[in-house]
Structure 1
Amino acid sequence: MSTSVLDLAELARACAADPATWPVTPRVDPDQRWYSRIAADEHHEVWLITWGPGQGTDLHDHGGAAGAFTVVAGTLTEELPAEAGPRPGAGPNGGLFTVEAHSRGATVDFGPHHVHRLTNRGTEPALSVHVYAPRLTTMTRYELDADGLRVLGVDREGEAW
């Protein structure tokens, strides 16, 4: 039985709402994002991630996994490649990205072909719960320019996380 995107969003919200069930206490590392897998079964996995000010991810996908995340504290900024390519006269990102801010309590769900970058652009730490189905085995990192997405590398479970 597969887990739907809607189920993943519900699971992310439920896990975020019940910190007493987390097997670890989140901590903020001043140099890099801190993360811990807090639950997993054969269908999905749940990660807890802290984001210090200025910390973020590369542009990446989830290796064919669908997912959802809930922001527990702070605000995360999500950048998504613009579907229509760069827009003339667009803002500082050259129109290559659509930018969305997700504050405390927001839940975002996405399908298996989602490419994005998440960053804490605030001055306070952020905390989020992420759910993926199936479990992550690879994540592809990308660069985006006027010609589109270009693969920079593929991270694999057991090597990169």
Structure 2
Amino acid sequence: MYENIEPILNALNETPRILNELISEINSGLYKKEIVSGKWTIHEHATHVAMSDLQGFQKRLVDFKEKEKPAFTSLSGSNFHSNYYLNLNLEKTVEDFFKVRQQTIDFALSLTDKDWNKEAIHSEYEKYTPNIMLRHLLMHDHNHLYKIEDMGFGIGHVK
């Protein structure tokens, strides 16, 4: 296993709990409110985080395992119709995220040393390895968690 991946996997393992706690502490009347004009709601950020593993990151781990030189394109929330994340059941999606994230971690733990050293082709990265991908997933999680916290507890939208 890649020598520096354990802290990243441990942090990724905590994301579902942090997301669940954030959502449970925020006034539910804010979930679908467009707090920032033209930007995603709390609901959309939360369901996007909870669905990202299934929508691409797990497949990427499988490709690192099965392909000699995997190739990836950008994953984006804009790849889905405009209300896709808003129409997902927030409670169920967040609840399922615990299992989904554990599957992602299990996929990562199944990689061999050879898999960890593979470099993929990625349109947005000069270098893209399983380690870089998982670190990016962690940064992605925390970027959206920050936005959820800011919209849920910030005073800018309270008048």
Q: TM-score, normalised by structure 2?
A: 0.27
Flag the structure with larger Rg: 2
Q: TM-score, normalised by structure 1?
A: 0.27
Structure (1 or 2) with the greater strand fraction = 1
